[in-house]
Structure 1
Amino acid sequence: MKKAIAIVVISLSTTIFSYGYAADNPSNGHSDYGVEAPVDGLRLNNGEQWNMDDHTRTISKKMKKTFLDADHSTQENLNALGVKLRKQVNELIVGCTMSGKSHDQLHIFLNSQIPTINALALADNYNSARALEIQLKDQFEAYQKYFK
């Protein structure tokens, strides 16, 4: 029960943190090279990817593998995928040891990905689930572009 409460608190604080970060760092939706950023406020580290801690890197790879290995042929399968990814992102959050600007950028990224994962778990028809699946695919590609 304590772990569940901690996850909820972390998720809420992540959302609150990102609003504060966005207010302090106005974004025009562009990366360091003037290319449209997939997530408002997401930036490269002086043109380089942000370094992640081992835990974050491991769980992120696990999430991408879960996504790629899943059966995407039905709404039920996509809902189940959302549930699996939600558990994995919670695992990522609970074990995170990062700090500093790379951590801040990770929060910005997760604040776009978590709602997509939650919506996929709850999608009530295949077309909605499929649209969310495409968003997640794009988000996993963005992760690879911005984080190492």
Structure 2
Amino acid sequence: MKKINALTVVLLSITFIACQKKEEQKTNSASTEKVATETQTPPKVNLNNGQPWEANPETTSGIKALQTLILASNQGESAAVLKEKLNTEFAIIFKKCTMTGEAHDQLHNYLLPLKHKINAIEEANKKPMQQEIASYLEQYTLYFK
């Protein structure tokens, strides 16, 4: 009877240790993936044989609306309100996008960094982020017409 109890304790201990190590590996793996995702540079926007891609009119008007929102934002407007307005307009761009193929892929390459910039707006960095986003939005016409 004592041998069975001792064997049970040993087996339970081994199982417990193995589960702990597996959980540590999962945690470490998840942390590594998160860091890799956060530090990866977004894909570069490529031109269409040296020329801008043809964008659907709704996308171009959405970019112009984002530019207007950024430029019209005043000192009294909170970062949270500005971020909400920009995210709402950003969502409309995605909703109305009818682009396909490589032009669509390149649009996503352009929009992904913009989304990160919008999400990074906080009270402490509102003014510099506004300037960074405004500058980035001006580059739209380099890649899309």
TM surpasses 0.5: yes
**1:103 aligned residue:** 104
Q: Which amino acid letter does the alignment assign opposite residue 65 of structure 1? A: T
Corresponding residue of 2:62 = 59
Q: Is the 8 A contact 1:49 1:147 kept in 2?
A: yes
Q: For 1:136 and 1:129, locate their aligned partners in 2 and report how far apart those are by CA, in whole Å.
A: 10
Instruction: Work out which of the two has the higher radius of gyration on C-alpha atoms and give 1 or 2.
Output: 2
Query: Do 1:43 and 1:105's aligned partners in 2 also have CA atoms closer than 8 Å?
Result: yes
Equivalents in 1 of 2:133, 2:106: separation in Å? 18
| CA distance, structure 1, for counterparts of residue 111 and residue 87 of structure 2 | 11
Letter in 1 for 2:144: F
| RMSD of Structure 2 on Structure 1 (CA) | 2.1
1:135 aligns with 132
Which structure carries more relative contact order (alpha carbon 8 Å, separation 6+)? 2
Gaps of 5+ in 2: 1-36
**Tell me, what secondary structure is at the counterpart of 1:106?**
helix
The number of aligned residues is 106
Equivalent position of 2:17 in the other structure? none
Identify the structure with the greater helix proportion.
Answer: 2
Segments of 5+ residues of structure 1 without an aligned counterpart are: 1-18, 20-28, 30-38
Aligned partner of 2:90: which letter?
V
**Runs ≥4 in structure 1, deviation > 6 angstroms?**
none
Within 5 Å, which residues of 2 pair with 1:110-129? 110-120=111-121, 123-125=122-124, 128-129=125-126
Counterpart CA distance in 2 for 1:117 and 1:41 is 18
Cα deviation, residue 83, structure 1:
1.2
Q: Which residue of 1 aligns with 2:46?
A: 43
Q: Distance in 1 between matches of 2:77 and 2:68?
A: 19
CA apart distance, 1:144: 2.0
| Residue type of the alignment partner of 1:49 | P
Secondary structure at the aligned position of 1:107 is classed as helix
Q: State whether residues 75 and 124 of structure 1, in contact with CA within 8 Å, keep that contact through their aligned partners in structure 2.
A: no
Query: Does the residue aligned with 2:120 lie in a helix, a strand or coil?
Result: helix
